[in-house]
Amino acid sequence: MNQTSANWFSFKNTDGLVFAILGFLSVILMTGHNGIGISPDSIVYLSVARNVIHDGAMVDYIRQPLVDFPVFYPSFLSAAGFLFRADPLQAGVYLNGFLFASVIVATGYLIDTFNVKSQWYKWIVLFSIALSPSLLEIYSMLWSETLFILLILFFMIALHSYFKSRSIWKLMLCACIAGIACITRYAGITLIATGLMLILFDSSLKLNKKLFCLCLFGSLSTGFLLANLLHNAAVTGLMTGPREAGITSLQDNIGYYTQVIMDWLPVSNPYILISSLVMVLIFLSIVILFLRTIYLHMSSQTSPGTQRSYAAGDYIFTAYFIVYTVFIIGISTLSHFEQINNRLLSPLYIPFLISLTAWLPGCMARLEIKQRQLALVAVLFFAVLFQVNQFKNLKQQYHDYTTYGIPGYTDDTWQYSPLVAFLKTRHNVFDTGYSIYSNAHEAVYFNGGLQSASVPHRNDKKDIHDFFSENGFYLIWFNQITDHELISMAQIGKNASVIKRYMFKDGAIYFVTPHHTLKHHRII
């Protein structure tokens, strides 16, 4: 059997498919109560996909152009809706199950490209992925990370294939996958950075060809992102929507990063500073091992054996782990968005797991038989400990999801909300001559079937001025929403007359008349 056929067979390997089926079924079971989980971001993706399907417009639920997020994931959802002739919300469960299964198969393929191959190691890793609470949280939601993680693995497969042959066409394929990842999530630039770094350190390329490959890969991969950003700037004047400067320190972000990693592992330390220092040491150790591999590659003569070593999947996983870690901590420090959490670090779960353990089969292979047996017992002990921790978390996660629904706008709190039930049946109570605002305008669209605008953010002076410049408007207020980024009811009450029209145990509908009859009234 030739090498290409062997690789294709490896990609379809039976053990990878078995674990993929396990992962697919896990997603189906997790979403069995109320279906796929929906967050505010999910509603943006879903509404854009629906609008593309219905009228070909790339706009969200308030008919605004998509700018805060890249275009590919909503386009992917709309394509799935066309293909399956179903609303993306209903197709989401099976789509996510398929994506998660594909992630497991792709990871299995990459493990088969490691410098030292081990069947038991592959089974442990794939089993850990298939029943990972971290990843099942992601694949239970309608989030772009579900596609982004798979694109990362496709990029690694393409990069592995390129380093085996140094084919320009395969390099262009790598660039195209990285480009598509960038317009799936802006964090896709980490794939571009990883590709450029590995090409730069590739000592088998002569300088002229290396410069050509760097320019080709860099220009082609960034072209996708540049086109998306220029389109955004043309339609709204902003390339990535409104962004605020970071308000979280580097030390705090390292602490948040460490806490997520600790949640993945069977460890618990109440002293986050000590844990952060340990995490920094682990990261530096991985960086040192990566640099050592680069040094050995650059100091040796180019040969087929050297090229295969440089193309190994474990090496590519480690490179991406380093790049993404630096990126996510850095961007969280420079720019203000949600605190580092499992969702933001989910693309790192598989690279971290492999970067931390990929050296084990090689080290064990060099031991004497008795030492190898003892080492295998130790590895299995820690593997069982890791899985017990995962099962414990997974059991609680499954109980919560199947009892109350996945946290978000499809859980029981929203499904049985009196305010939502009123919105679904009483659209006629709103005079069309007045605007509607809400502290959860995405929920008004998703659960109430109405179009509304968001209450302004506390730091957006222009939006606050426009808000209080209206002659009157309806305000739908959900008590369960505690978004401190938005202006409060107390601030609204100081600047407007607020009349309660309908009262519910989980919220209320008000009619608000701002106090701008006073010419120079100051907005507090």
Domain identity same for 361 and 228: yes
Report the pLDDT value the prediction gives residue 76, as an integer from 0 to 100.
96
Report the pLDDT value the prediction gives residue 462, as an integer from 0 to 100.
87
Report the pLDDT value the prediction gives residue 362, as an integer from 0 to 100.
85
The 3-state secondary structure of 105-153 reads HHHHHHHCCCCCCCHHHHHHHHHHHHCCHHHHHHHCECCCHHHHHHHHH
Domain-located, residue 410:
no
pLDDT bracket for residue 461 (50, 70, 90): confident
Q: Does residue 311 register a pLDDT over 80?
A: no
Q: DSSP string covering 330-389, please?
A: HHHHHEE-SPS-HHHHGGGHHHHHHHHHTTHHHHHHTS-HHHHHHHHHHHHHHHHHHHHH
Domain-located, residue 303:
yes
Report the pLDDT value the prediction gives residue 142, as an integer from 0 to 100.
97
Amino acid symbol at 225 = L
Structural domains of the chain, count: 2
Domain identity same for 490 and 395: no
Q: Does residue 301 register a pLDDT over 70?
A: no
Domain-located, residue 435:
yes
Residues sharing a CB contact under 8 Å with residue 38, sequence separation 6 or more, in sequence order: 46, 89, 141, 142, 408, 409, 410, 446
Domain identity same for 124 and 266: yes
Report the pLDDT value the prediction gives residue 11, as an integer from 0 to 100.
47
Report the pLDDT value the prediction gives residue 132, as an integer from 0 to 100.
96
Domain identity same for 154 and 76: yes
Reported as a single tens digit per residue, the pLDDT across 342-365 is: 999 999 999 999 999 998 888 888
Domain boundary among 371, 404, 437: 404
Strand order in the sheet with 507-514: 453-454, 435-438, 473-478, 507-514, 496-504
Domain identity same for 144 and 280: yes
pLDDT bracket for residue 15 (50, 70, 90): confident
Domain identity same for 148 and 252: yes
Domain-located, residue 393:
yes
Domain identity same for 24 and 168: yes
Give residue 388's Cα distance to chain centre. Answer: 25
Domain-located, residue 10:
yes
Report the pLDDT value the prediction gives residue 269, as an integer from 0 to 100.
66
Reported as a single tens digit per residue, the pLDDT across 475-492 is: 999 999 888 889 999 999
pLDDT bracket for residue 519 (50, 70, 90): very low
Q: Residue holding tokens 């009234």?
A: 521
Domain identity same for 222 and 335: yes
Q: Does residue 276 register a pLDDT over 70?
A: yes
Domain-located, residue 379:
yes
Domain identity same for 262 and 113: yes
Report the pLDDT value the prediction gives residue 117, as an integer from 0 to 100.
84
Domain identity same for 469 and 437: yes
Residues sharing a CB contact under 8 Å with residue 425, sequence separation 6 or more, in sequence order: none
- Residue 216 and residue 491: Cα distance in Å, rounded? 54
The 3-state secondary structure of 45-64 reads HHHHHHHHHHHCCCECCCCC
Q: Residue holding tokens 């290409």?
A: 4
Query: The domain containing residue 359 runs over which residues?
Result: 3-240+248-404
Domain boundary among 404, 438, 462: 404
Token readout for 410 is: 């499809």
Lowest mean pLDDT among 7-11, 60-64, 375-379: 7-11
Reported as a single tens digit per residue, the pLDDT across 234-261 is: 887 777 766 666 678 889 999 999 999 9
Which pTM value belongs to this model? 0.91
Q: Helix (H, G, I), strand (E, B), or coil: what is residue 486?
A: strand
Domain boundary among 404, 426, 448: 404
Domain-located, residue 524:
no
Report the pLDDT value the prediction gives residue 204, as an integer from 0 to 100.
83
Domain-located, residue 423:
yes
Domain identity same for 354 and 490: no
Reported as a single tens digit per residue, the pLDDT across 176-197 is: 999 999 999 999 999 999 999 9
Domain identity same for 451 and 355: no
- Packing angle between helix 272-299 and helix 349-357, nearest 10 degrees? 70
Residues sharing a CB contact under 8 Å with residue 77, sequence separation 6 or more, in sequence order: 45, 46, 48, 49, 88, 92, 95, 142
